[in-house]
Structure formats: structure tokens, C-alpha cells
Chain A
Amino acid sequence: MSLPSATNAGELRSLAVRIRQGDASAETELVHEFSHRVFVMGVVRTHDREAARELVQDVLMAVIGALRKGQLQDADKLAAFVHGTARNLINNQLRSACQRPPMEPLHEDLAQACRAEQLEDAERMRLVHQAMEGFGQEDRKILLMTLVEGHKPGEIAAALGLTSEVVRTRKTRAVKKVADLIRKKMSRT
């Protein structure tokens, strides 16, 4: 399973060039590199996981289509290009679902890569659930108040009788603990 990579600019440039040259494996690499990011962006912007999943396919197909045709002028800006395409398609969808342009389906390799992303998402959710069972009541409350109720560390500190610094530290530590667990478990598979 792939993890959020920090592919350097050189590798991304080479990816763009290889896709333009018709290298199918580069297209699969691009899906692995960006599908998670586009999915997260889609979920945050649309509040709909299913819509976000569909958007991942649409965005990646549009990007790959453009790269095949050599429409990306500056290969160094691949990440920004994917982001811009995702933003435009999400905005279009939010404006009107029925105005979405018809997209040709992904070919089987790419569709499989997208399905793998869906499985990873389910596995990630399972691991988060598992990690949260190990949290104390107060850590859960800090996460709930931060990530769901949207309170600032100072407000949480006042409500729980802690200092802002403690709230901040405990939140960061909890998120890191979960992220480490996910990284550890998912890198094994």
C-alpha cells in the first residue's frame, strides 16, 4: 500500500515527461502519488466521501488526458496542475452536478489503483478506530473539541482545566500516535 509520499520535484517532472511519452506505468505511479490527496481534498470540499471517490477518477483521468496531449507546459508544476484540475472539477460539481462533463472510464490498471486507494481508506479507518480505543477520556475529548467542535486550544484548556500548551501537546501527540500506527501497519502490507 502506498503512503503519502514526498516525491521530489525531479521525480514529478520525470513522471510528467514519461506520461507524455506514453509510459503506462508512469500513469499508475501518478495515480498512487495523487489519488489520496485528491480524495482528501474532495471529502473536505464536498463533505461527501462517495462524491470524492468519483472525483478522484474524474480528476486523474483529466490530468492524465492532458499530460498525454502535452498540455502541461511546465513539468515542474505537476503537483500544482493536479491541484488546479481537482479544484476546478470540484467547483464545477458543487455548482451543478448535472453539468459535469462526461468522462471516459479509467482503463483497468488505473481503475484498480483507485480501488486499492478505497481499500486503504477502509483500512485507515479501521486503524484509527483501533488507536482511539486506547485513548483516555480526556484525550478523546481534546480531539473531539478540536476536530469536530472546532474549539481553539485556549477554549479547550479553559473547559478541561488544563493549559493551552498541554492541550496543544496532547492533541499533537495523539494525532502523531495514530499517524505512526497507520504508517507502521500499512507499510507492512
Chain B
Amino acid sequence: MNCEEVEERNILEGYLLDRLTEPEREEFEKHYFECGTCFSQLQTGLALQTELRRQPAMAARARGASLLRAWVWAPTFATIIILFSAGIWWNSAHNRPPSQQVPSPLKVSPNVRVQVQSTPAAPSLEELARVEPPPYSGVVLRGTEDEAHETFHTAMQFYEKGDYTKAIPGVRAAAKANPQSASFNFYLGVCYLLAGQTDPAIVSFRQTVSLGDPAYSESAHFYLAKAYLQKKEVARAKDELQKTVHFHGGLESEAAQILRQLGN
């Protein structure tokens, strides 16, 4: 095998996607063990593939982070509301008859403010169990899909509109027709979870994990943890979060943060 053949026959992509025959794979490996140029491209291709596989999880994480940012501002908003209330109270107190003893609002409000800032409320289990739908961007290739994929893509149109309950029958049919597909099982789990059907969600995520597809394993553990949090099974949720952390992927820091908040 030479560099031209690698380029012309899309050998590099086939290798990364595990689509070469054993002799082709063997031949390409022998080639890149001696060819610096092809190895450099392969190494970059692998890094790109890893990064691209992380992207859905990272986008979900970014959405989670923006939600988190809102929580970060919560004490400030609370302070403003308290100060505003104190102002109203102070105003009304000054309008009371002079015989009534009125505590100074200037003494009250700074104390309240300090208290709010120093002890932000720890998120509840319900808040930690909150699920952001992972993004889905299925490109439909006309004439290149089997029936299961077509069913899946049609159903996922409901998912994209946020109608997870309506997406379930199609995604479930696709997963039944192709039980080895990690993406079908993963999105089926997500649909169930977002539709409030936690138990079947757990079954689908477990199935995804068992398939061992690196593109979905980390996310499956993470959403499995979310499902257990919804069921208030904290020990199991922690276990799944720890597994998520071990992937060192795009969901690592979010999983670690939830673990800390759970008092790990």
C-alpha cells in the first residue's frame, strides 16, 4: 500500500471507522508504521473523530452551563428582591404612626445580603435530575438508508420539535428493528426520560452501554445517572456519574460537579 492508494480509496476513514477488511487493515497499519505523512494524517483524523464525537455531549453541556449560569445569578437576584422588599417595608414603616418601634432597614438589609451571598442554596435532587435534551442533527441521505434509519429519522423530527412522546413509537420501532444500534437505543432512552418514563429510559440506556459504542457510552452513563436521580436512587446515580467521569470526555466536569453536589 502507498500514500496515493490511501488517499484514493479513503483507507484512512475506513480504518478509523473499522470498515476495512482484515488484510486491508493489516496492510494500512504496516504502511503507517513506516510512513510519517500518513501517520500524521491518521493521528489528526483520530483526534478529529474523538472531538466530533464529543460535540453532541459538549453542546448539551454548554446548554447545562447556561442553565448553571442562571443559578449562579440566583443569589444576586434574591438580594435585589430582598433589598427591594426591604425598601418597600422601610417606606411603609415610615408612614406608620410614630409610636410604633421600627427596626432600621439599614441594619437589616446588609445582613440579609451577606447571608444570601455566603450560603447559596444547594440544588435539590429535582434540580440535579433536570435533563437537557442532547442535540440531534440527523442528515437524511436519500436512497442510502434502510427502513429502520428512515423510521428513526422521521421520528426524530418530533424530537427536534421537542415532542418526545410522539417521537417514542418511531424510535422504538427503529431500535427494535436494529437492536445493535447505539444511537437508536440512546435516543430512545432520551425520549423516554424527557417524556417522564424513567424505567424504560433506564432499560434503553443500559442497552446502549452494553453495546460499547464509544460515541454513546459516556452520554448513556450520564443520562442513566439522570434517570436514577429522577427516581431518587442516589447511590446508583453516583455510580453512573463516576463511570461518566472515567471517560474523561465532554461530560466529565458536569458529572463531577453533580457528584460534588450530591456530597460524594
7 pairs of residues in contact across A and B, judged by CB atoms under 8 Å: A3-B36, A36-B43, A37-B39, A48-B214, A128-B48, A147-B48, A155-B144
B73 at the interface (CB under 8 A from A): no
Residue in contact with B140 in the complex, picked from A6, A148, A159, CB distance below 8 Å:
A159
Q: Which residues of B line the A interface, CB within 8 A? A: 7, 10, 13, 15-19, 26, 29-30, 32-37, 39-53, 55, 139-142, 144, 212-215, 248
Assuming the A-B contacts A5-B36, A37-B32, A148-B52, are A141 and B45 also in contact, with contact meaning beta carbons closer than 8 angstroms in the complex?
no
Interface residues of A (CB under 8 A from B): 3-7, 34, 36-37, 40-41, 43-44, 47-49, 79-80, 82-83, 87, 124-125, 128-129, 132, 140-141, 143-153, 155, 158-160, 172, 175-176, 178-179, 182-183
A44 to B15, CA, bound (A): 8
Interface centre among B18, B41, B44, B46 (most CB of A within 10 A): B44
Q: Would B53 and A83 count as touching, CB distance under 8 A?
A: no
Main secondary structure of the interface of A (DSSP, over half): helix
Q: How far, in whole Å, are A179 and B257 apart by their CA atoms in the complex?
A: 33
When the two chains form their complex, are residues A128 and B47 in contact, meaning their CB atoms are under 8 A apart?
Answer: yes
Cα–Cα, bound, A146→B10 (Å): 10
Indicate if the CB atoms of B48 and A141 lie closer than 8 Å. Answer: no
Q: A128-B44, A144-B52, A175-B44 are in contact. Are A36 and B144 (CB under 8 A)?
A: no
Nearest chain A residue, comparing its CB with the CB of B12: A175
Residues of B within 8 A of A150 (CB): 13, 17, 19
Whether B39 and A151, one on each chain, are in contact in the complex, defined by CB atoms closer than 8 angstroms, is: no
- Beta-carbon contact of A40 and B30 below 8 Å: no
Q: Are A6 and B139 closer than 8 Å at their CB atoms?
A: no
| In contact, A37 and B51 (Cβ under 8 angstroms) | no
Q: Report if A148-B19 is in contact (Cβ < 8 Å); known contacts: A37-B32, A159-B140.
A: no
Given A5-B36, A6-B36, A87-B26, do A125 and B19 touch, yes or no (CB 8 Å)?
no
Once the chains bind, are A147 and B33 in contact (CB under 8 Å)? no
Contact between B33 and A47, CB atoms less than 8 A apart = no
Interface contacts beyond A4-B43, A41-B29: sample of 7 additional A-B pairs, CB < 8 Å, sorted by A: A40-B43, A44-B15, A83-B33, A143-B52, A144-B52, A148-B49, A183-B40
A115 to chain B, nearest CB (A): 15
Asked if B37 contacts A6 (CB within 8 A), the reply is: yes
B254: min CB distance to chain A, Å: 17
Cβ B141 vs Cβ A151 within 8 A: yes
- In the bound complex, what is the Cα–Cα distance between A145 and B53 (angstroms)? 11
Residues B50 and A125 in contact, CB atoms below 8 Å apart: yes
| Chain A residues closer than 8 Å to B18, beta-carbon distance | 44
Inter-subunit contact B45/A4 (CB<8 Å): no
Q: How far is the CB of B199 from chain A (nearest CB, A)?
A: 29
CA distance A154 to B50 in the complex (A): 23
Known: A146-B13, A152-B10. Contact between A179 and B49, CB under 8 A?
no
